[in-house]
Structure 1
Amino acid sequence: MLGNFSYCNPTKLYFGDDSLKFLGNELKKYGDNVLLVYGGGSIKRNGIYEDVIEILRAAGKNVAELPGVMPNPTLQKLYEGIEAARKQRTDMILAVGGGSVCDYAKALSVSVNCSEDPWDKYFIRFEEPECETLPVGCVLTMAGTGSEMNAGAVITNPEKKLKIGHVFADEKIMPRFSILNPKYTLTLPKYQMVAGVYDIFNHICEQYFSGDDDNTSDYISEGLMRSLLHSSRKAVKDPLNYEARSNLMWTATWALNTLVAKGKSCDWMIHMLGQSVGAMTNATHGMTLAAVSLQYYRHILTYALPKFARFAANVWDVCVNGKTEEEIAREGLAAMEGWMKHLGLVMNITELGATKEMIPDLVKGTLILKGGYKVLDESEVAEIFRRSL
């Protein structure tokens, strides 16, 4: 491994079908006023809400509720949360839901005591908080984002047609604890499940497809990807397979808790492309990634043939005998495409509501990063979107 790095991840995880019972012990560490943040109401239908409320009451907490966090949390919703937390004098934020709810809770954590506009400070200037931040705990109900064990937050500004993520540098912004019960994911519709699967896969790829050195992180990534492929096929065949769903949930956490990013420059351009699509269409995050991935990878393939060939051989079991490096690499992407279609992923942005006329705005909303094998220019971004229609 080349370069220098530090690693710290303070999030405490409770994993398994009995994991919620540890919530009460964690709540004792924080003040009396808890802001309960959740999404559209599925936690009330499946009984998770009542279980959490019962534990909060038993812990003697004063609970204020903030429902309605949407899949792509908006700036207006962030402002609403700031007002609610200030009114309650919130001591801690408890997020119950998927990655969007966890992302939102962290964005709220750094904004409640901030005197500046959070959009400008955190998502335009990418500054770090100078104010006191609120502790966050998560009860995860969907596997995919890895938000339960990192310091990232993504907020959408519909007015400006921008969806921007900020990975904060300070580990205190990571959730103090996260509860991961795979049973909570069993009732998800297939569309959401497979979108989460691809989000996991792409998180690993964004870190894997960078650098040319012999890096331990790449070997870990390949193992995670192989596990994900195995479990995703089992879960699509039998959505109630607890073992498969538990493996997906655990892989999601390790895909984006910064472990496999160590020693890597990281790419993240698929996320930039996908988030631009999401800002324009409000489409499901994992599907926006799936819709642009293959066209992006085919575009950069010749700049990183050794890594794509390794990916084909070590992840997809492509036979390398008698083939050129490019043939191996392209066969690997073909295998990846077959797996994506088997899952039922969206394979183009047209299906998500994007049109040819949107391409100038999609390009404008795409942040161009420099961590991958090819730094794109705007004409290349436009071409990738055109091929993704």
Structure 2
Amino acid sequence: MLGNFMYCNPTKLYFGEDSLAGLNEELPKYGQNVQLVYGGGSIKKNGIYDKVMEILKANGKNVFEDAGVMPNPTVHKLYEGCKIAREAKADLILAVGGGSVCDYAKAVSVSAYCTEDPWEKYYLQMKDVDNEIIPVGCVLTMVGTGSEMNGGAVITNHEQKLKIGHVFDERVYPKFSILNPVYTYTLPRYQMVAGIYDIMNHITEQYFSGEDDNTSDYLMEGLLRSLIHSSRIAVKNPTDYEARSNIMWIATWALNTLVAKGKSTDWMVHMLGQAVAAHTDATHGMTLAAVSMAYYRFVCPFGLEKFKRFAMNVWDVNPEGKSDEQVAVEGLQKMEAYMEDLGLTMHLKELGVTEEMLPGIVESTLVMDGGYKVPDKDEIREILKNSL
């Protein structure tokens, strides 16, 4: 492993069918005012809302609801949440939902008492937090983002055609997260498979970088094999507890920063997908799926050894009698076949993208280094064109 690093993850996890009881352990640690954050109301239909409210009331909390968090939380919604937090004098923000709800809660936590425009400060200038932070807790109902155990918070600005994530330090991590796999059962198949691919892509974006013998790469190969196995079961039987619990646990460990330690990382698929989402408001996991194969085929020749290893150790490609390039290509073909079987969106046109939109998406794409090849604007346009 290369370099020097520090690892800290302060989030306490409660996992399993009885994990919601963990709220009774955590709520007494905070003041009386709780800002309850959730999305479009599905938690009221499936009964989770009533269970959470019962526990909040039993602990004597004053609840201030902040509903309507959208799949790609907007800067305008962020401003609204900050106003609610200040007026409620929130002592805790409790996010009940998927990754977007958790992301939004963390964005509100750092922005409510920010004396500057939080979009400008945290998302355009990427400054550190130097103001009061409201603690966050999460009750997870959809898996994929890993937001329940990291400091990431992604916000969309439709006017500027930008979707940007800020990864804050451990002060912003959720103080606790409740992970009950049963809560994910009612997700529509489209959302479930989008989340599954978001998990896979989090792993591959950290895996496809570096050339050293890194323990993190072995961990990621194991996570990928488990995800592939469990996801195939889950799409056939969405209420298979073992499969759904494995997927939930993999999602958390895919992006709680553990496997990134000692590595460079390549987040260009996310940058491409987020640029697409800024123009289409499409589901996050599907934007990633639509651009992934074109990007990985572009970068494969520059990281051939790792792509060969990926093919052999994750997809069981037999290298006998084949060139390194043939092995690597076969691995990507197996990945593509798996994605198609899962029912993922494989082309940008299915998300409403046209060739006329590509120049704008190119301009919205943030370019990051860390990968085997940093693409220029012309190469980004070609990758997007090949994703149509």
TM-score, scaled relative to structure 1: 0.99
> Are residue 280 (structure 1) and residue 275 (structure 2) matched?
no
Q: Residue in 1 aligned with 2:216? A: 217
Letter matched to residue 28 of structure 1: P
Amino acid at match of 2:221: E
**For 1:1-389, what aligned pairs fall within 5 Å after superposition?**
1-168=1-168, 170-389=169-388
Per the TM alignment, residue 233 of structure 1 is displaced from its structure 2 partner at its CA by: 0.3
Per-residue CA shift, 1:265-295, capped at 9, x if unaligned? 1000000000000110000000000000000
| Partner Cα distance (2:329, 2:353) in 1 | 27
Q: Distance in 1 between matches of 2:22 and 2:272?
A: 39
Q: Distance in 1 between matches of 2:145 and 2:113?
A: 26
Aligned residue for 1:14, secondary structure, equals strand
Q: Which AA in structure 2 matches 1:365?
A: S
SS at match of 2:29: coil
Q: Calculate percent identity across the aligned residue pairs.
A: 69
1:154: how far off? Answer: 0.1
Cα displacement string for residues 216-253 of structure 1 (whole angstroms, at most 9, x for unaligned residues): 00000000000000000000111111110000000000
For 1:367 and 1:197, how far apart are their aligned partners in 2? 24
* Secondary structure in structure 2 of the residue aligned to 1:351: helix
User: One-letter code of the match for 1:334?
Assistant: Q
Q: Distance in 2 between matches of 1:131 and 1:2?
A: 34
Separation in 2, partners of 1:349, 1:109: 34
* 1:234 aligned partner, one-letter code: I
Letter in 2 for 1:367: L
1:313 deviates by 0.1
Query: Which TM-score applies when normalising by structure 2?
Result: 1.00
Alignment root-mean-square deviation, CA: 0.4
Question: Structure 2: 5+ residue runs without aligned partners?
Answer: none
Which shows bigger deviation, 287-296 or 236-245? Answer: 236-245
Q: CA deviation at 1:19?
A: 0.1
1:342 alignment partner AA: D
Q: Which amino acid aligns with 2:124?
A: I
Letter paired with 1:193: M
CA distance in 1, matches of 2:357, 2:315: 35
Q: Residues of 1 paired with 2:255 and 2:180: CA distance?
A: 18
Structure 2 residue identity aligned to 1:131: N
Moved over 3 A (4+): none
State how far apart, in whole Å, the 1-side matches of 2:205 and 2:269 are: 7
Q: Which amino acid aligns with 2:50?
A: E
Shift of 1:184: 0.3
Q: Which amino acid aligns with 2:220?
A: S
Count of paired positions? 388
> What do residues 15-71 of structure 1 show as CA deviations (whole Å, max 9, x unaligned)?
000000110110000111000000000000000000000000000001100000000
Partner amino acid, structure 1, of 2:318? C
